[in-house]
Amino acid sequence: NYEEFIKNYHGFSPFADNIGLKLTALSDGHCEGEVPVTPALFNPIGTIHGGVYYTLADTVRGCAARTRGQTPTTIEGKLNHIRAATSKDKKLIAKGDVLHFGQKTIVSSVLITNDSGQTLAAGLFTFFALDKKDLKTWSETLSHLPEHT
């Protein structure tokens, strides 16, 4: 259920939560998401840090890849930065589409725009489809990390 996945995504990826990433649409092989432009995301030269773009791209494409029940992990990614987001922008918007669903690899593309529709970045990425038997639950993963106070 795509709507349920979007609703339950918050908390699934603490790193994505830290930048304010929200999923906005999900369908077979397609996902959309956005990140609000906030002062915490800027680099020293006054533009949004490139890591924010990459996290948004990687997350949206990964969720698009999950729509057929596979569990993806990124093995290669190329993101071309075309235009810098600035304080005039209100949000970054990403649309990711799977180009190829294979048994072991998934190839996808992503386009990132600002709220005015200007293209900020475009990318092409490859995932490896993990075997479910090798996956840990979220609580198992957290149990191996040191406690934070």
pLDDT in tens, the chain (149 residues): 888 888 888 777 888 889 999 999 999 999 999 999 999 999 999 999 999 999 999 999 999 998 988 889 999 999 999 999 999 999 999 999 999 999 999 999 999 999 999 999 999 999 999 877 666 555 565 565 565 44
Provide the token pair at 21: 């990433």
Please tell me the predicted confidence (pLDDT) of residue 57: 96
Cβ-Cβ contacts under 8 Å for 129 (sequence gap 6 or more): 65, 70, 71, 72, 102, 103, 104, 105, 106
Strand ranges for 1-149 from DSSP E: 22-27, 30-36, 71-81, 91-101, 105-114, 119-130
CA neighbor of 93 nearest in space, from 15, 22, 38? 22
Position 61, amino acid: R
What per-residue confidence (pLDDT) applies to 4?
86
Q: What is the per-residue pLDDT for 144? A: 58
Order of all β-strands in the sheet with 105-114: 22-27, 30-36, 91-101, 105-114, 119-130, 71-81
pTM of the model: 0.86
- Residue 10 has a pLDDT of 76
pLDDT at 70 (0 to 100): 85
